[in-house]
Amino acid sequence: MELLDLNEALQELEKLDALQSQVVELRYFGGLSISETAEVTGISESTVKREWIVAKTWIRRRLLEGSIPS
């Protein structure tokens, strides 16, 4: 059930912010480092770090609230 909730949250994040979604996919599912993610996406490492933190916070909040729309 938790994996399905995570997938739904990630899909919603993608609609709101495609870059954050891509960073999560590369870091969490792809196992890439900050520098590898920066290279793949063509953005700076500091931007990757910022987007990673914001995206993780958003996903955690959505999962804790349980307010993922169906």
pLDDT in tens, 13-45: 999 999 999 999 999 999 999 999 999 999 999
* Residue 22 placed within a domain: yes
Residue 39 lies in a domain: yes
Domain count, the chain: 1
Full residue range of the structural domain in which residue 30 is found: 2-65
**Tokens 């909730």 — which residue?**
5
DSSP string, 32-65: --HHHHHHHHTS-HHHHHHHHHHHHHHHHHHHHH
If one compares 4 and 44, the residue with the highest pLDDT of the two is 44
Residue 10: what pLDDT? Answer: 94
Residue 70 lies in a domain: no
pTM: 0.85
44: in domain:
yes
CATH number of residue 9's parent domain: 1.10.10.10
Q: Give the pLDDT of residue 55.
A: 97
The one-character DSSP state at 17 is -
